[in-house]
Structures are given as C-alpha cells and as structure tokens.
Amino acid sequence: RPARLPVALSANPYEVVVGTGLLARAGGLLSPHLPSRRVAVVSDASVAALHLPTLRAGLEEGGFDIRAEVTVPPGEGSKRMGMLEEVLEQVLAAGADRSTTVIALGGGVVGDLAGFAAAVALRGLPFVQIPTTLLAQVDSSVGGKTGVNLRTGKNLAGAFHQPRIVLADTGTLATLPARELRAGWGEVAKHGLLQGPLWEWCEACGPAAMAGDPEALRHAVLESCRLKAGVVAADEFETAKDGGRALLNLGHTFAHALEAECGYDGTLLHGEAVAVGLGLAAALSARLGHCAQEWPGRVMEHLAAVGLPARIGDLPRSFSAEALIGRMRKDKKVRDGTMRFVLLRGAGEAFTTAEVPPEAVEALLRDEG
C-alpha cells in the first residue's frame, strides 16, 4: 500500500502519495481529487517513451478522457516562454475547459513548465504532479512553485500553483540515469541536514539508495516529502522573515552561483551544485564558529560516499572566487545587496542569516576553489 502524506495548506490541502505501481493505478488514485475526468498530459520525449503508456492505461482504466498528450524535448532548454506558449496552444486546441486537469509526467523541468501552463491557462486549471526523477519526487513536485527561465535568469517568470495531488511512483526511478539519481540525492541530503534524524539515515542508507535499493529510495522520498511538506505548509508563499521556506535554500546560494558560472550547459546538474553548496555551507558554518570543526568533514564524507561532488575541487572545471561572489550578490533572493545564507549548528539545526562577512565567504571560496 502506498503511503499518503498530507500537505496541510490552509486553503488547498493536498496529499503526496508515495509508492510503486502508481502510474498503472492513476485513474483510481486521481479521480476523487479532480473536478472531471478530462485531462491533458504534459511530458518530455524521454519520459513519455518510457512511462506514458503505463500512465495512459492507468487513466483509461479509470474512465479518463485524455484530451491531449503534449511532449516537449527533454532538458532545461524546454523551460522557456516559447515552450509555455506551445503547451498552452496544444492544451487549449484540444478543447480543455476549466475542469480539465493538466498532469505533469516527468522531472522538474516538465513539472515547472506544465504547472505554470496550468496556472495561466484559462486563468487556472487543476494540476497534478507525477514526478519521475528523484529530484522532482523529493523536491520540485511539492510546494507549488512553477515557472520558466528568462534570458535574464533562472525561474524568473512563474506562479505559485499547488497541485491537487502528487503521485510519487518510486518504481519510475529504475529507468533514471545514475547521474540524475545521484543529483537528486543532493536534495535528499539537504533535507536530512535540515531535519536531523534523516541525516543519520542518509549516512547509513544513502549508498544503498544510490545502488537502486527500492526500499531505501521509498524511504528517502517519503521522509524528504514529509520535511518539505511541513516547511511549505508553514510558509506557503515564502514570506516568513526568518526560517520558513528560506531554510530550503541550504547550500543554494553557492549552488546557484556555480550553476550560473557554468551557464547551465550541463557541466553541472542542479543537485550536484547543491551537494557542493552543502559542503560549502557546512564549511562556512564551521569557520564562523557555529558548529563543530569536524562537522564539514562529515558532511563531505557522506556526499563523496554517494558519488556526489562535495567541494569545488571535485568539479570538472575551476571557478574564480570573485566571479562566484559577484553571482551571489545578484541572486534573486538577495534583498538590498546583502547575501543571505542558511547555516548549520548541526544536523536539524539550520538557521538563516544576513550576518555573514563577505570576506569570510571570499576566503572560503579561495581556499576551497
């Protein structure tokens, strides 16, 4: 039996269902949560080839009318305005009305793009997330952030649009390339560090999960979603002054700078950048005296054990400290030019702060780079 996790939003509470074989049972799982049985499925070509037939059969068995199947090219390049327009045209040309649900079947790219399309089509259609990457199952499918990239930067156009339900079918992870699976672990490790006991479980079972152990993957998805659901429910629109959703940015100030420096050319997957960011956040925490000196070593040791880069030196290219600092100052979450960081006192003890001397960050990047 799949596990069901509540995301306790006051206006639109929903459930994250975690288990295997969910695609084949999608009709029965979805119908109680949707206004009609009309749906439009959005996917990418790789995921559609592997998993759309199973989902289609599951929906048809539940009496669903699949109005459209929209397939975009795989990869970050599809998260753009032109593709949003294309998805909208195809969904609406197929006769979607206000009770037609948009279903995203795929990774974070498809989820963000289809979710944004659902948010704006006819001023808002019901939306369902069926994430198929580890990253999407543990992170992007929960929380309601949708959007596309602009030339000016990543995720700069978007909307909050919560799904009616999330089906995280961990069986779909069996076809995911190993590098994508490991990248998703970057976010699992982040959730572990935020939560506490989950961190110790990551250290014990991470390598088994990365070897494809289905029970370890199921546990990682379930506990990650539990952590994220709790944080999101307490701060739906990221308005909390301290803590709240901002804690989910642990490692991300560094990660975004590394990704931006690479120009999103595929050298560095988001989860890999996050892994390095976690190592740097731990190292910065230690340098500023917030945690034990041996703590960064422990964080980096785990990341290395699951095959993730843990420090800038593990990456296939070099970075200039000045360039990275310049990127961090321009991060979308930077208000009034002050860099904000999430730091750690230990596992389960993260906090947000704007009180980090830029010299400390610069020195860290020079020494680690």
DSSP 45-105: HHHHHHHHHHHHHHHHHTT-EEEEEEEE-SSGGGSSHHHHHHHHHHHHHTT--TTPEEEEE
- Residue 189 DSSP label: H
Of the pair 203, 272, the CB lying nearest ligand NAD is at: 272
Of the pair 108, 279, the CB lying nearest ligand NAD is at: 108
Q: Interface mask (CB under 6 A) for ligand NAD, residues 93-122, using x and -?
A: -------------xxxxx-x----------
Of the pair 47, 125, the CB lying nearest ligand NAD is at: 47
Of the pair 121, 286, the CB lying nearest ligand NAD is at: 121
Assigned token pair, 189: 């490790």
145 is in an annotated binding site: yes
Is 190 among the residues that bind ligand NAD (CB under 6 A)?
no
Is 76 among the residues that bind ligand NAD (CB under 6 A)?
yes
Assigned token pair, 85: 């327009």
Min CB(133)–ligand NAD separation in Å: 3
Phi-psi region of 234 (alpha: psi -120 to 50; beta: other; left: phi over 0): alpha
Is 137 among the residues that bind ligand NAD (CB under 6 A)?
no
The whole-angstrom separation of Cα 143 and Cα 235 is: 10
173 is in an annotated binding site: yes
The whole-angstrom separation of Cα 16 and Cα 115 is: 16
- From 107, 126, 117, 108, select the one nearest 164 (Cα to Cα): 126
CB 103 within 8 A of CB 76: no
Of the pair 40, 176, the CB lying nearest ligand NAD is at: 176
- From 243, 235, 245, 241, select the one nearest 352 (Cα to Cα): 243
Is 155 among the residues that bind ligand NAD (CB under 6 A)?
yes
Min CB(61)–ligand NAD separation in Å: 21
Min CB(45)–ligand NAD separation in Å: 7
Q: Where do contacts with ligand NAD occur on this chain (CB under 6 A)?
A: 44, 46-47, 50, 74-76, 79, 106-110, 112, 132-133, 135-136, 139-140, 143, 145, 155, 172, 175-176, 180, 270
**Binding site for NAD(+): which residues?**
108-112, 132-133, 145, 154, 172-175
